[in-house]
């Protein structure tokens, strides 16, 4: 079976992160012949360093990667076409799909949407749109956290690899050594910080520095770095542009700047930390599979539309929370709102977060277990494909 996935990289790595994971899973677990069409190969190469951006077509991890540009054509008929996050296919591609349909082999056409837990999403998942010029059918696929949705990406081996990693101190030591952080396991607490620009970062750093527990804060090189630099200027009078490999200590806080991590490395970072601050969609899904406490910085949108999405997702979590965790959920919700700028932030709030980490761990481990009991996105998608092939 031949599958084409289209991805338009805009300004972050969430879109390509999701499409790249899905492409590999469909190829490895379901033996699909997958072609991944990407508009910006240079950005993709940051996530997949073995990629050669100057090549128009190249193999990569059982996938055929194509440079997607306005004049591109399909190189073969495709049985399944996945349009990532509303990116629009050119007219010549639509014409090729129509010609394929005329021969009696119409492609199955999916519009993969962004993850959302808003109630309307469950009603719209699986809805069909008819292309006005060709009559081709496009089905809308909404990833989310309920059985009525399109599910979340989860490789079959993921949770087993997570459990093995967390139980194997040698594997953890090798991970830290690979990041030139052989001293990481000496810290009583490890926290990852992957965030957009955020005014609450300063309050968090102050709380960590003043806390009684020595903390290693692991910061992949990203848009949060300038906020950290400002805090260091204020507290250490350190006027420095942070570079990958830097380690800076102040009171009980050590900040380590990491390079951009591969998918596997980032999963392992989430598994190895006691608390994860994550951003965007792909990182949010991976943090949920880690089963560790986390705070999500949702992608900011105009008119604060993102806050509605954040609350809808948190409402989904609350519906599954056991009564014994309701107080922990309320504290977690307060921290989540403060991190996303919807309520005031202060160091005392983050100090309380650190105190409550053990309780949060139980809450979010339970939530991860609820999601694990559901079929993952690729499995649901392939079940849908099989049903439509029989029609």
Sequence-separated (6 or more) residues with CB below 8 Å from residue 55: 41, 67
Asked if residues 109 and 146 have their Cβ atoms less than 8 Å apart, the reply is no
The closest of 221, 235, 195 to 339, measured between CA atoms, is 195
Residue bearing tokens 């090549």:
55
The whole-angstrom distance between residue 375's C-alpha and the CA centroid of its chain comes to 18
Whether 15 is a known active-site residue: answer yes
CB 250 within 8 A of CB 208: no
DSSP state letters, 251-272? TTEEEEEEPPPPHHHHHHHHHH
Are the C-beta atoms of residues 27 and 57 closer than 8 Å to each other? no
Tokens standing for residue 349: 């709030």
Q: Residue 313 CA to chain centroid, in angstroms?
A: 15
- Residue 155 CB neighbours (<10 A): 17
3-class DSSP assignment, residue 191: strand
Give the active site residue among 113, 203, 281, 376. Answer: 281
Where in the sequence numbering do the catalytic residues fall? 15, 281
């Amino acid at each position: 079976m031949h599958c084409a996935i289209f991805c338009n990289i805009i300004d972050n790595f969430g879109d390509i992160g999701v499409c790249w994971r899905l492409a590999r899973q469909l190829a490895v677990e379901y033996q699909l012949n997958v072609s991944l069409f990407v508009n910006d190969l240079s950005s993709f190469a940051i996530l997949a360093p073995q990629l050669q951006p100057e090549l128009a077509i190249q193999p990569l991890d059982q996938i055929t990667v194509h440079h997607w540009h306005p004049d591109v054509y399909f190189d073969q008929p495709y049985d399944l076409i996945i349009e990532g996050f509303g990116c629009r296919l050119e007219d010549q591609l639509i014409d090729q799909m129509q010609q394929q349909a005329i021969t009696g082999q119409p492609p199955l056409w999916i519009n993969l949407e962004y993850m959302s837990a808003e109630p309307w999403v469950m009603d719209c998942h699986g809805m069909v749109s008819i292309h006005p010029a060709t009559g081709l059918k496009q089905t809308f696929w909404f990833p989310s956290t309920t059985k009525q949705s399109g599910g979340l990406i989860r490789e079959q081996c993921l949770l087993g690899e997570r459990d093995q990693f967390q139980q194997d101190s040698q594997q953890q030591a090798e991970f830290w050594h690979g990041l030139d952080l052989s001293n990481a396991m000496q810290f009583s607490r490890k926290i990852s910080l992957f965030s957009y620009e955020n005014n609450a970062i300063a309050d968090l750093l102050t709380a960590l520095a003043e806390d009684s527990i020595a903390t290693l804060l692991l910061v992949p090189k990203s848009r949060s770095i300038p906020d950290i630099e400002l805090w260091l200027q204020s507290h250490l009078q350190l006027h420095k542009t942070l570079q990958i490999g830097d380690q800076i200590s102040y009171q009980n806080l050590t900040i380590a700047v990491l390079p951009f991590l591969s998918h596997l490395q980032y999963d392992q970072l989430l598994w190895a930390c006691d608390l994860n601050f994550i951003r965007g969609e792909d990182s949010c899904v991976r943090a949920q599979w880690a089963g560790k406490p986390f705070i999500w910085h949702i992608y900011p949108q105009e008119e604060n539309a993102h806050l509605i999405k954040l609350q809808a997702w948190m409402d989904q979590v609350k519906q599954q929370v056991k009564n014994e965790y309701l107080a922990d959920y309320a504290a977690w919700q307060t921290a989540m709102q403060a991190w996303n700028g919807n309520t005031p932030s202060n160091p005392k709030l983050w100090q309380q977060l650190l105190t409550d980490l053990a309780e949060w761990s139980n809450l979010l481990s339970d939530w991860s277990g609820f999601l694990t009991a559901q079929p993952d996105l690729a499995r649901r998608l392939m079940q849908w494909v099989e049903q439509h092939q029989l029609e």
